[in-house]
């Protein structure tokens, strides 16, 4: 496979990135990438995360890629500089920025945009004291700020920003805080190799963390960092599916993310990392990558793909044959079972959500049973796929998961809630943005409230086939249940990079409502399938 495929995927996104930017030099928002703010005027502040979009633009401006019509274009250079200056102009006085609501001071948005700013500044060869002063204020804020929730990719990103800032300004100003934060990143790596993302392991975000650490290792190599990357690469290698796709709803954050640049960086001293990208390219060539052409998130993968093209390792070892047998990451709650030409990827910590391949082709994507229940005038959704503690039994041929359904997180913004949030943030909330963020995380992402349903999912191997049996019990009977079904890509928590389209989701919804209506109040719903 050619590295040019990564470049072509990224180049296809550049027109959309430029459409998002205000490129009118006489406009008061010249350089802004948040089209909802400067053009549609449907929000009252610009998202700071959009400042990241200068990075892929600077890369295509600087890289002589075949078919790259943006290479060394003077106009593009002007627009990149405008993006940098708008990011500085729209930031808070301490260098922070907002992403979802005013005065949020979002660490992730600030860090992604700072990395983009530093890299773009360097690629364009700028010499601008005003921008350097802005970068310094943002680096100072990030160095001292600690966000709620365990998102290791954000921590690794901040470490890389501080390292690059120190080199850009030739200073040791952030060395102590950088070392302390890197120690936290290492501490958050589980002994199984994965890095914590909220409530567990997300192989998609894991590839980003590995990529950031690999970049850091190129600048400041250490034995501890090298060991962490090696363990991270070994974990990631298990999750490239037989068709070359990656990730899905069985992961902690439900993402199909794949950031390839770190495997090329590490591949110069860890050749087995290169096979991960080679396998993924097979899927990318068949359009099995997820679509990230969303106005808010399309920048992340664009710059990673372009860095992969830039750092491509020409001398590559042969891709090894696919492994066989069972791999169980007990701490992550993830199990992979490969046998008889089949591969099963199973989330034991999410009630038995799974993906199943036979002879390299996806046969089933299963996000567990979902129940729609009427509660007065409203409807509630109980699901089996929320992260939590479940009873698990394993033997050589059978896997059983037992537990309770949980209420899906379905909170939505309303006019009243929006006004209240604005009032809070423009008064006391601006002084306690992390508290507001923590409350929203609990509401939209973390935790599980039990619903009055119990389930048992059993997966058993027999004669080269996988037999799946689901049993669902309604504690309060079936009278108030409106519908029961099962989908290929159902999720119920908010994660910015989740709920993207991937072709494996082209599987019809399975409806068991009619079967449920035939049951007695105390009778369980039982569903049997053979894959």
Q: Give dist(CA 239, CA 236) in Å, integer.
A: 6
Residue 105 has pLDDT above 80, yes or no: yes
- Is residue 228 within 8 A of residue 271, CB to CB? The reply is no
Q: How far apart are CA 302 and CA 308, in angstroms?
A: 10
The structure tokens 């700071």 sit at 48
Domain range for 161 is 149-290
Q: Which residue has the higher pLDDT, 494 or 347?
A: 347
DSSP 145-211: ---SS-BHHHHHHHHHHHHHHHHHHT--TTHHHHHHHHHHHHHTB-TTS-BEETTEE-HHHHHHHHH
Q: Tell me: pLDDT of 279 over 90.
A: yes
- Flag whether 298 is in a domain: no
The helices-and-strands tally (H runs, E runs) of the chain is 17, 16
What confidence score (pLDDT) does residue 413 get? 76
| Among 296, 295, 279, 191, CA closest to 243 | 279
Average pLDDT over residues 475-489: 93
The CA distance from 531 to 119, in Å, is: 48
* 420 and 373 housed in the same domain: no
Task: Give how far Cα 409 sits from Cα of 264, 405, 441, Å.
Answer: 38, 12, 11
75 shares its domain with 156: no
Whether 309 is in a domain gets the answer: no
Asked whether residue 317 is domain-assigned, the answer is no
Per-residue pLDDT band at 1 (split at 50, 70, 90): low
Per-residue pLDDT of 215-253, as tens digits, reads 999 999 999 999 999 999 999 999 999 999 999 999 999
Show the DSSP H helices in 260-366 as ranges.
261-267, 274-284, 298-310
* Span 7-29, average pLDDT: 97
* pLDDT interval class at 333 (50, 70, 90): very high
Q: In this predicted model, what pLDDT tens digit does every residue of 23-76 receive, in sequence order?
A: 999 999 999 999 999 999 999 999 999 999 999 999 999 999 999 999 999 999
Shared domain for 70 and 193, answered yes or no, is no
- Is 382 domain-assigned? yes
Q: Is residue 30 part of a domain?
A: yes
Angle between helices 107-123 and 152-169 (to 10 degrees): 40
**Paired strand residues for 370:** 383, 485
Q: Is residue 61 within 8 Å of residue 18, measured between CB atoms?
A: no
User: Widest CA span of the chain, in angstroms?
Assistant: 76
Q: Check residue 153 and give its pLDDT.
A: 95
Per DSSP bridges, beta strands 398-407 and 391-394 are: antiparallel
**End of a domain among 146, 164, 184?**
146
Q: The CATH number of the domain where 225 resides is what?
A: 1.50.10.20
Average pLDDT over residues 382-410: 93
User: Which residue in the block uniquely carries the two structure tokens 């914590």?
Assistant: 196
81 — pLDDT class (breaks 50, 70, 90) = very high
Residue 469 resides in a domain = yes
123-157 pLDDT, tens digit per residue, is: 999 999 999 999 999 999 999 998 877 889 999 99
Say whether both 462 and 401 belong to one domain.
Answer: yes
Higher pLDDT, 258 or 446: 258
Residues 191 and 82 in one domain: no
- Cα(525)–Cα(518) distance, integer angstroms: 9
Residue 441: the pLDDT is 66
Computed over every residue of the chain, the mean pLDDT equals: 94
Residue 273 has pLDDT above 80, yes or no: yes
pLDDT of 445: 67
Cβ–Cβ under 8 Å, residues 332 and 23: no
* Percent of the chain topping pLDDT 90: 82
Mean of pLDDT values over 438-442:
69
Domain count, the chain: 4
**Distance, first Cα to last Cα, the chain:** 31
Q: Are residues 30 and 7 in the same domain?
A: yes
State residue 419's pLDDT score.
82
Residue 433 has pLDDT above 80, yes or no: no
pLDDT of 506 strictly over 90? yes
Report if residue 303 sits inside a domain.
Answer: no
Position 493 confidence tier, pLDDT thresholds 50, 70, 90: confident
377 & 520 share domain: yes
Question: Is 527 in contact with 475 (CB distance < 8 Å)?
Answer: no
**Do residues 198 and 347 share a domain?**
no
Q: Are residues 19 and 111 in the same domain?
A: yes
DSSP β-bridge partners for residue 204: none
Do 141 and 174 fall into the same domain?
Answer: no
158 and 250 share one domain: yes
CA–CA dist 236, 206 (Å, integer):
7
Q: Is there a single domain that holds both residue 116 and residue 84?
A: yes
Determine the 3-state secondary structure of 370 from DSSP.
strand
Residue 418 burial (CB count, 10 A): 11
Residue 47 lies in a domain: yes
Q: What is the pLDDT of residue 385?
A: 94
Beta strands 398-407 and 196-197: pairing type? unpaired
Q: What would the mean pLDDT of 491-516 be, rounded to a whole number?
A: 92
Last residue of a domain, one of 121, 146, 171: 146
Q: pLDDT > 70: what percent of the chain?
A: 98
Local confidence band at 430 (pLDDT 50, 70, 90 cut-offs): confident
Q: Is the pLDDT score of 443 beyond 70?
A: no
Per-residue pLDDT at 444 exceeds 70: no
Count of beta carbons in the 10 Å neighbourhood of residue 1: 16
pLDDT of residue 411: 72
Q: Cα–Cα distance between 304 and 181 in angstroms, integer?
A: 23
Supply the pTM of this predicted model: 0.95
Tell me how far apart the alpha carbons of residues 393 and 405 are, in angstroms, rounded to a whole number. 18
Tokens 């979902």 identify what position? 370
Q: DSSP state, 387?
A: S
Please tell me the predicted confidence (pLDDT) of residue 150: 84
């Amino acid at each position: 496979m050619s590295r040019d495929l990564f470049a072509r995927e990224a180049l296809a996104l550049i027109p959309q990135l430029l459409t998002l930017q205000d490129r009118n030099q006489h406009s008061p928002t010249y350089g802004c990438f948040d089209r909802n703010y400067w053009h549609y005027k449907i929000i009252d502040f610009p998202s700071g995360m959009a400042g990241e979009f200068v990075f892929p633009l600077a890369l295509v401006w600087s890289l002589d890629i075949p078919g790259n019509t943006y290479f060394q274009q003077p106009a593009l250079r002007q627009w990149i500089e405008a993006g940098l200056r708008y990011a500085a102009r729209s930031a808070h006085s301490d260098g922070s920025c907002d992403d979802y609501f005013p005065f949020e001071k979002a660490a992730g948005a600030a860090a992604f945009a700072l990395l983009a700013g530093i890299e773009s500044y360097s690629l364009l060869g700028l010499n601008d004291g005003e921008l350097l002063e802005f970068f310094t204020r943002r680096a100072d804020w990030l160095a001292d700020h600690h966000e709620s929730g365990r998102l290791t990719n954000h921590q690794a990103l901040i470490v890389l920003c501080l390292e690059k800032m120190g080199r850009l300004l030739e200073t040791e100003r952030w060395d102590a805080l950088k070392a302390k934060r890197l120690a936290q990143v290492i501490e958050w790596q589980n002994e199984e190799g994965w890095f914590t993302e909220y409530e567990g392991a997300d192989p998609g975000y894991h590839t980003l963390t590995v990529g950031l650490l690999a970049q850091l290792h190129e600048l400041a190599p250490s034995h501890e960092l090298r060991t962490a990357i090696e363990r991270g690469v070994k974990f990631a290698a298990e999750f490239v599916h037989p068709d070359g796709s990656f990730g899905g709803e069985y992961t902690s954050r439900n993402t199909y993310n794949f950031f390839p640049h770190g495997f090329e960086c590490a591949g110069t001293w860890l050749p087995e990392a290169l096979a991960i990208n080679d396998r993924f390219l097979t899927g990318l060539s068949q359009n099995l990558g997820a679509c990230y052409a969303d106005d808010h998130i399309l920048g992340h993968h664009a710059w990673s793909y372009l860095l992969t093209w830039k750092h491509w390792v020409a001398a590559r070892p042969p891709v090894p044959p696919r492994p066989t047998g069972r791999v169980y990451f007990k701490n992550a709650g993830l199990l992979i079972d490969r046998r008889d030409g089949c591969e099963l990827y199973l989330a034991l910590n999410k009630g038995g959500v799974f993906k199943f391949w036979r002879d390299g082709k996806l046969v089933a994507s299963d996000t567990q049973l979902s129940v729609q229940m009427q509660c007065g005038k409203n409807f509630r959704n109980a699901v089996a796929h929320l992260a939590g503690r479940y009873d698990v039994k394993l033997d050589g041929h059978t896997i059983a998961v037992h537990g309770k359904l949980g209420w899906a997180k379905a909170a939505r913004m309303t006019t009243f809630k929006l006004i209240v949030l604005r009032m809070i943030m423009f008064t006391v909330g601006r002084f306690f943005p992390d508290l507001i963020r923590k409350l929203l995380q609990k509401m939209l992402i973390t935790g599980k409230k039990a619903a009055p349903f119990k389930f048992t999912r059993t997966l058993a191997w027999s004669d080269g086939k996988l037999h799946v049996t689901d049993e669902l019990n309604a504690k309060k009977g079936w009278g108030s249940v409106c519908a029961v079904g099962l989908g290929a890509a159902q999720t119920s928590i908010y994660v910015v990079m989740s709920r993207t389209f991937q072709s494996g989701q082209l599987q019809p919804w399975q409806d068991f409502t009619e079967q449920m209506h035939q049951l007695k109040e105390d009778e369980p719903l039982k569903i049997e399938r053979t894959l």
